[in-house]
Amino acid sequence: MNWFRNLFGGALDSSQRGVKSIRDKFSHFLSLLEENNRILKVISDMEEKAQGDFLFDINYIRDSLVKSRKSINKLIADMIALGGEKYLPLTTRLDEIDSEIDLILPGCQPTMRDDLTIPLEDIVRERACSVGSKNAQMGELKSQLGLPVPDGFAVSGWAYRQFLKANDLQNRIGKRIKALDVSSYEQLKSVSEEIQAMVRAATIPPELVEAIESSFKALVKKSGSDRFSLRSSAIGEDTEYSFAGQYATFLNVRRRDVIDRYHEVLASKFTPQAIYYYLSHDLSESQLAMSVGCIVMVNSRASGVVYTRDPVHPNEDCVMVSAIYGLGKYLVDGTLTPDTICVSRKTKTVTETDIAVKPVRLVLKEDGGTVEEAVPEDEQQKLAVSEKELALLLEHALKIEEHYGSPQDIEWAIDHDGRLFFLQTRPLHVIEPTEDVKPDLSGLNLVMAGGDTVCPGAGGGSVFHVETVDDLSEVPDGAVLVAPHTFPGLITVMGKVSAIVTDTGGVACHMATIAREYRIPCLVGMERCSELPQGKIVTVDATAGAIYEGLQDDLIQARKPEFELFSDMAIFNILQDILVKVAPLNLIHPSDANFVPEKCQTFHDIIRLCHQKAMEEMFLGGLNVPGKDQLSVRLKSDIPLKINIIYIDQDYHDYAREGSIDESEIASEPMRHFWNGVKHEGWPAAHKMDVKGFMSVMGTSVTAGGREDFSETSFAILSREYMIISLRMGYHFTTVEAMCADEVRKNYVRMQYKEGGASLDRRSRRIKLIMDILTRLGFEHHSKGDFLDSRLAYREADTLYKRLFLLGRLTMLTKQLDMALSNDSVAGWYTKDIMKKLGLLNDKERRS
C-alpha cells in the first residue's frame, strides 16, 4: 500500500482509509473463500470414504479433522476480521463441536473418575473408558453373557491418573515424548528407558496400595486361589487399535509380588514398541491411561485363540481355532507354531486340521512365574484339544460374535480339569485380498514356498535378518524382514519394511494382529527362511505363500488389497459418527431466526454461516466506502450513468493515469459481462404510465425531498474475478455483486433491488416481476415489500457470466418500470414480455 503514502504523503485521510479498509476486507474475503473451498473438499472426501468403496484408516480420519479444524479456525478469523466481534461465538461453537468429536475418536475419551479398584463382575463394556477394553470385555462376557471367565478385579485408569499426579509425571513424560523422532529406534530405546526409569522410581500412593491389597484379599477369599495374572488393559487397547502384545502381562503372580508387578505393568506403557505403536497411530499418550487387571490364574492344559472368521479369507465358512499345550504365551508371542483347526460355521463340523509339532510348553512354577518344559514325544503331534472342547469353543465363540455384531479375536484356556475359560475378546482385523486379478507368475524364479499367510499381499526388497531388538536399528527402508520368530519389538520397524517372514509362529500371534493392522505382507512358519542370503533382492508373495527372486512390481501391484471386508467396519462406524458432527447442514436460509453463530451444530453449519455472512459483510463494506469519489475514476460510456470505478487489485496510479476508463478497458470479468448486458439493451425509453402512476411519482419526489442519495454517483468496486456495483437510477437502487473464479465453490452472484419512484403497490409488483424472472435463472430470494435480495451460488464461472449478461439487460429493462405496473394483469404482461426478450420462455409459453 505504499502508493497511498506516495500519492498523499504521510498519514492516510478518511477516503484513503476507506479504500484500504475495503482492500483489507477483500483480502480476508478471498482467504475465507479459499478456506471454504478447501474444507468442503475435505468433507466431500470424508463422505465419499464413508460410502465404503475406498480403504482408509484412523490416521486418515485424524488427518482430515486436523485439516478441517485448521481451515475452520482460519475461516472464523477471517469472518471476525470482516464483521467484528459479533462472530466470536463461532469460536466457542467450534470448540464445543470439537469436544463432541473427541468423544467419538478412539483413545480420545477422557478417563472416567471412578473407584480405584472394581470387581470384574461389576464391569460392563460401557465402562471401557475407566478400566480399558480388555477388562471391560471380560466383565461383559462374565456379567452379561454368563460365560466362564476367571474372577478378578480391575485397577482403574483413574488410579493411574492419581499415580501420575502424586509423582508429577505427566508433564515430564509428555516433554520427552514430544521431542521424540519415532523413526529412530535408538531414540525410541533411549526415551523408553528414561521414562520407564522415572515410572519405576515413582511411589505408588498409599491409598492406591491399600485399595489394591483390599481387593486382592477379597479375591483370594472368593476364589480360593493363590495364583494370579497381572494384565495390562490400557484405555484404547483392544479396540480399533489392538495394542496386541505391546504392554506387559505377568503370569502366576503370588501375593507378595502384586504391587511390584502392578508397578511394572505401568512402566510397560513406555516400552519402545508401545511408544511406537501409539505415536504411529497418531494417538495421544496422555489420553491412554493404564488400567490393570488382576485375574485368577488358569493353570492351562491347553490354550489358544479363536478367530470367528478366517482373517485372510473372511468369506469362507470357517471359525479358526489355534491351540497349543500349556499357557497361551508361547502362541501369542510366536514362540510356537500352533495346531490350526477350521470348524464350519454352518455344519459345526471340523473341515480342516493342521497339527503342528509342539515340542515344548509353558507351565506354572510352584513358587511363582513360569517355566518351559518338554512335551512327551508321543504327544507332540497330537491335537491339543478334543472334538468336544472344539464344539464348546465354537458354540461360545459364535455367541460372542453375535453379541458384539462383528468378527472377534478371542483368547481362551482349558485347565487340567477340562474347564473352559475365556480370557479376552477384541475386534478381529481381517483383509480381503484381490481375487479378480490373477498375476502372471511365468518366468519367475521361486526361491521357496510354504508358511502360513498372516497378512495377504506382496512386498519386495533386500533380505535383512534380525534376531533380537538390538538388530532393529540397522533395518533399512523397504527391507524384507526375516526373523526366527516374532517378538514385540518388530512393530518399531513395520513402518519401513515391505514384508515380514518368520521361521515359526501362527496366524493368531500378536505380531500377526499388528501386521494386519499395518497391512504388511507377512508369512509365518516358513521353516527355511533363515537360509535366505542377507541382502538378496526378493519378492514375498504372502497371499500365495511364496518367495521369488528379484523385485516383481507386477506381482506386488496385483496383490494389493482392494478393500477390507469386516475389520474396518469399526473404522467406518467411527467415520460415520464423526460425519454427523461435520457434514449435515442445519442452517439453510439466511432469513431464519436460527441463522446465527450460536445455532451452528456442525462444521458445515459454521462454514455455511461464514460464507453467507462474508458476502453480506463484503456487500456492506463495498456500499459504505467513505470518500470513494476521491480515489476512483469515471467509466466512459454513452449510457447516461455516472459510474466511478475503484480497483482493489491494482494501484491507483496504474488505472487512474488517464483520469477515466473506457468500456473496452474494464479489467473485471464479472463487470465486463454485466456491462455488456447493459450496453446490449441500451438506455430504455420511458414506460407508459397512467395518471395514478404519474401522481405516485410526483408524491415520491416530494417525500424524497432533499435526500442526497438520489443524486449520488454510482460506484463499482472491482478486481479481475470480483465486482460490486451500486447503481442509482432515478428513485431506485440496484446493487449487483459477483465472484467468478476457477473454483466453483467460491462463485456467486447477488442482486438487490430497493425502492423506486412509484407507489408501494407498484414497486412491489416490480419486485415480484424481477423475482419471477430471476427464479428462471436459478436464483433464490428474500423479499419484503419493495425490497428484493436474490442469490445464485456454486456455478461455473461461464454460467455466471451468462447470468450477469442477462442481469445487465434486466437492469435496463426494469428501469422505472414500477410506474407502469398499475395492476397484476399489466405486471403479468410485462413479465412474459421481458422473459421473451431474454429468451427464457419455452415453446409452449411462446405460443400461448
pLDDT digits (tens, 9 = 90+) for 448-473: 998 888 888 899 999 999 988 778 88
Mean pLDDT, residues 529-547: 92
Give residue-wise pLDDT tens across range 368-423.
Answer: 999 999 999 999 999 999 999 999 999 999 999 999 888 899 999 999 999 999 99
Among 399-413, 529-543, 632-646, 668-682, which stretch is predicted with the lowest mean pLDDT? 632-646
| Model pLDDT, residue 582 | 92
Q: How buried is residue 148: exposed, middle or buried, by Cβ count under 10 Å (0-12/13-18/19+)?
A: middle
| Model pLDDT, residue 565 | 39
- Cα–Cα distance list, 632 to 16, 640, 663, 711 (Å): 11, 18, 15, 17
| Model pLDDT, residue 697 | 41
Q: Please give the angle made by the CA atoms of 68, 72 and 75, to the nearest 5 degrees.
A: 145
Cell 474396518, located at residue: 568
Half-sphere exposure of 486 (CA within 13 A, CB side): 35
Question: What's the distance, CA 110 to chain centroid?
Answer: 19
More confident residue, 423 or 847: 423
Using pLDDT thresholds of 50, 70 and 90, give the confidence band for residue 480.
very high
- Cα–Cα distance list, 343 to 300, 330, 364, 407, 543 (Å): 22, 23, 30, 15, 22
Percent of the chain residues past pLDDT 70, beyond the cut: 84
| Model pLDDT, residue 428 | 83
More confident residue, 586 or 710: 586
| Model pLDDT, residue 567 | 41
Check pLDDT > 50 for residue 564: no
More confident residue, 565 or 394: 394
Check pLDDT > 60 for residue 430: yes
**Most confident listed range (276-280, 471-475, 558-562):** 471-475
Q: Is 441 left (phi over 0), alpha (psi -120 to 50) or beta?
A: alpha
> How high is the mean pLDDT of the chain?
83
Alpha-carbon gap, residue 730 to 701, rounded angstroms: 10
Please answer whether residues 276 and 182 qualify as being in contact, where contact means their C-beta atoms are separated by less than 8 angstroms.
yes
**What cell does 711 get?**
443524486
Mean pLDDT, residues 829-837: 94
**Most confident listed range (118-132, 210-224, 831-845):** 210-224
| Model pLDDT, residue 245 | 47
More confident residue, 52 or 416: 416
**Most confident listed range (61-65, 148-152, 610-614):** 148-152
Alpha-carbon gap, residue 470 to 466, rounded angstroms: 8
Q: pTM of the entire structure?
A: 0.53
Mean pLDDT, residues 53-81: 84
Using pLDDT thresholds of 50, 70 and 90, give the confidence band for residue 708.
very low
Q: How buried is residue 515: exposed, middle or buried, by Cβ count under 10 Å (0-12/13-18/19+)?
A: buried
More confident residue, 430 or 668: 668
Residues annotated as catalytic (active site), given as ranges: 510
Nearest CA to 490 among 728, 820, 185, 726?
185
Check pLDDT > 70 for residue 109: no
| Model pLDDT, residue 451 | 87
